[in-house]
């Protein structure tokens, strides 16, 4: 359903792009080629980009032995290959998984998480992240990010070319009332499509967080571990210094704004990359 809706949205954006530019196929071909290149790069190099953007470094050294031991044990239990392990030098407790499949996955945790969590809590967080790998959430996120990028690209190119005089000729046969209506609808679609695509991306991200919580608990067989870890995350107000909006959805909790007292409106919550921590904690306590 996710792919179908994204395909329909991309097709509608491409149609609006083509119509507003007078039906010229060259611009659409260029946009498609750029989109293909973006998709290729996102699929094969998204993990490297995410790790570099987060300033992650390999978790080498005896001080990270507990980290390695927990990951190895959980991977054996889950039937997963051990991902590459990284550490982000940041006092804010957080973690994320990235990659395109279990064979090409990476797991990163902050130094703050390693210091703050006891063994049971850290195991719950790692199980949550490994569940993202096992459930192919890392691939779903890549697909969503790529699809949003394609829609934004088509919208941006179409609006820019219209602005610089590359739109339809008003003297053509479609310049009547119907043509004007179609032009207005196409213009509105190019403006609204990026927002719709991002709302879909954020909705997918929130649902996958709930799924990873449940899958992580099934892996550890101990709901209080992850529940206690989320409660510590809820009480911590720090943000990850090198996190960006582009990578925010990968982390176990939003690295940008963790103010639990900030109760946004329902409209603002639609743009959240993560469900509220209190909701996630409540669900875990009910298990």
- Residues with a catalytic annotation lie at 129
DSSP 62: G
- Please state, as a whole number, how many other Cβ atoms lie within 10 Å of the Cβ of residue 61: 8
What is each CA distance from 284 to 86, 121, 150, 215, 252, in whole angstroms?
27, 13, 36, 11, 15
- Integer distance in angstroms from the first to the last C-alpha of the chain? 28
CA separation for the pair 10, 78 (Å, rounded): 36
Q: Could you give the C-alpha distances from 143 to 40, 83, 276, 281, in angstroms and in order?
A: 11, 20, 24, 28
Under 8 Å between Cβ of 260 and 234: yes
C-alpha distances out from residue 114 to 58, 63, 68, 89, 92, Å: 14, 10, 12, 10, 10
């Amino acid at each position: 359903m996710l792919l179908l809706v994204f395909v329909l949205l991309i097709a509608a954006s491409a149609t609006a792009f083509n119509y507003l530019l007078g039906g010229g196929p060259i611009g659409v071909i260029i946009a498609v080629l750029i989109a293909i290149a973006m998709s290729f790069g996102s699929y094969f190099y998204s993990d490297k980009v995410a790790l570099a953007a987060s300033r992650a470094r390999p978790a080498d050294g005896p001080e990270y032995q507990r980290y390695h031991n927990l990951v190895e044990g959980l991977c054996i239990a889950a039937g997963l290959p051990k991902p590459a392990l990284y550490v982000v030098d940041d006092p804010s407790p957080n973690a994320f998984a990235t990659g395109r499949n279990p064979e090409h996955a990476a797991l990163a945790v902050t130094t703050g998480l390693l210091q703050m969590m006891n063994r049971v809590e850290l195991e719950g967080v790692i199980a949550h992240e490994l569940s993202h790998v096992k459930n192919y959430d890392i691939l779903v996120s890549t697909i969503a990010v790529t699809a949003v990028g394609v829609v934004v690209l088509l919208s941006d190119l179409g609006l820019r070319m219209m602005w610089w005089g590359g739109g339809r000729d008003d003297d053509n046969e479609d310049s009547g009332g119907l043509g004007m209506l179609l032009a207005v609808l196409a213009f509105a679609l190019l403006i609204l499509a990026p927002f719709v695509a991002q709302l879909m991306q954020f909705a997918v991200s929130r649902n996958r967080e709930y799924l990873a919580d449940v899958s992580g608990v099934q892996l550890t067989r101990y709901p209080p571990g992850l529940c206690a870890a989320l409660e510590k995350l809820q009480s911590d107000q720090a943000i990850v210094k090198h996190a960006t909006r582009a990578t925010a959805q990968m982390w176990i909790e939003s690295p940008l704004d963790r103010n639990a007292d900030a109760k946004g409106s329902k409209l603002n919550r639609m743009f959240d990359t993560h469900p509220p921590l209190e909701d996630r904690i409540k669900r875990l306590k009910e298990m």
